[in-house]
Amino acid sequence: MKYIVDHDLHIHSQLSSCSRDPEQTKERILRYAEENSFNIVCVTDHFWDETVEGASKWYTPQDFAHINAITPLPQSDKVRFLFGCETELNRFLTIGISKERYDQFDFIIIPTTHFHMKGYALFEEELVSAQTRANAWVKRLDAVLNMDLPFHKVGLAHLTCHVLAPTREEYLDVIRLIPEVEMERLFKKATLLGVGIELNSYDMNFSEEEADVVLRPYRIAKKCGCKFYCGSDAHHPDSLDKAKPIFQRAVDMLGLTENDKFRI
């Protein structure tokens, strides 16, 4: 059976510092779910656990008390509304969530590709070329997959995020330079762990000419048996409104079925 786009597991509210949009409320997110016939959505505001050392100045205010202020979440007869977070991985490969917090979230998103956070997510020497960025892509994903995490409710966010490089040309080069053998090794490990692979609406909004390059990691992940979920990564209502057709296009181009769906 063809993959049904019936969820969005990566959504930011106004509590994320990169949103702060008064219209990006929990009620607006629930309405988005109902209007698109989704049966599950998850709010995933940026989070760095205050008990873990290594937060940046930007992440420090994004502690548990701050993002938990959105609860309780509204529910409906048709929509299950989950409480999650998008944590961070700094340049020392420290993850911004403690084991004690795992049970307080329905879903935990981990980004490995926030390469725009110069000096925080990556060392300066990792930013000098498309090749060093490709090497960092492998190293950071490998580090997460070697952690002791509740992978049954963990998603790997935007693996082909546009901030991999400062220009679109170099961004595509970074993806091209990631060795297939390394992708296969990592995605086989991801399959065994049961972690979800995100189809991010920003990543999937590529031109026809870019499709083969951008979809390359996901095609390899599918071949390795990975499971996929959709995430708009929306920070504002207009991004919510644009997301579902982008998800549908990605699902169609990858030829996904319900057997390829990640389920929390």
Q: Report yes or no on 12 lying in a domain.
A: yes
What average pLDDT does the structure give for the chain? 98
Q: Report yes or no on 134 lying in a domain.
A: yes
**Vertex 42, ends 254 and 51: CA angle to 5°?**
115
Give the closest residue to 117 by CA, choosing from 178, 66, 54. Answer: 54
**Vertex 9, ends 5 and 12: CA angle to 5°?**
130
pLDDT the model gives residue 89 = 98
Q: Report yes or no on 65 lying in a domain.
A: yes
Summarize pLDDT for 146-160 with one digit per residue, the tens.
999 999 999 999 999
Q: Report yes or no on 2 lying in a domain.
A: no
Sign of CA dihedral 124, 127, 132, 136: positive
Q: Report yes or no on 202 lying in a domain.
A: yes
Q: From CA 154, how far away is CA 107, in angstroms rounded?
A: 6
pLDDT the model gives residue 223 = 98
State the amino acid at position 210 in one-letter form.
Answer: E
pLDDT the model gives residue 7 = 98
Q: Report yes or no on 156 lying in a domain.
A: yes
Summarize pLDDT for 98-139 with one digit per residue, the tens.
999 999 999 999 999 999 999 999 999 999 999 999 999 999
Q: Report yes or no on 189 lying in a domain.
A: yes
**Exposure of 145 in the CB half-sphere (CA atoms within 13 A):** 21
Summarize pLDDT for 13-27 with one digit per residue, the tens.
999 999 999 999 999
Per-residue confidence band for 86, with pLDDT thresholds at 50, 70 and 90: very high
Q: Backbone phi, then psi, for 253, in 5-degree steps? A: -70, -30
Q: What CATH number should be reported for the domain holding residue 110? A: 3.20.20.140
Q: Backbone phi, then psi, for 134, in 5-degree steps? A: -60, -40
Across the range 178-196, mean pLDDT stands at 98
Per the omega criterion (within 30 degrees of 0), is the bond before 111 cis?
no
Q: Which domain holds residue 238?
A: 7-260
Domain count, the chain: 1
Sheet of 107-111, strand order: 7-11, 40-46, 80-86, 107-111, 154-157, 196-200, 227-231
For residues 38 and 79, the answer to whether their CB atoms sit within 8 Å is yes
pLDDT the model gives residue 233 = 98
pLDDT the model gives residue 32 = 98
Q: Report yes or no on 216 lying in a domain.
A: yes
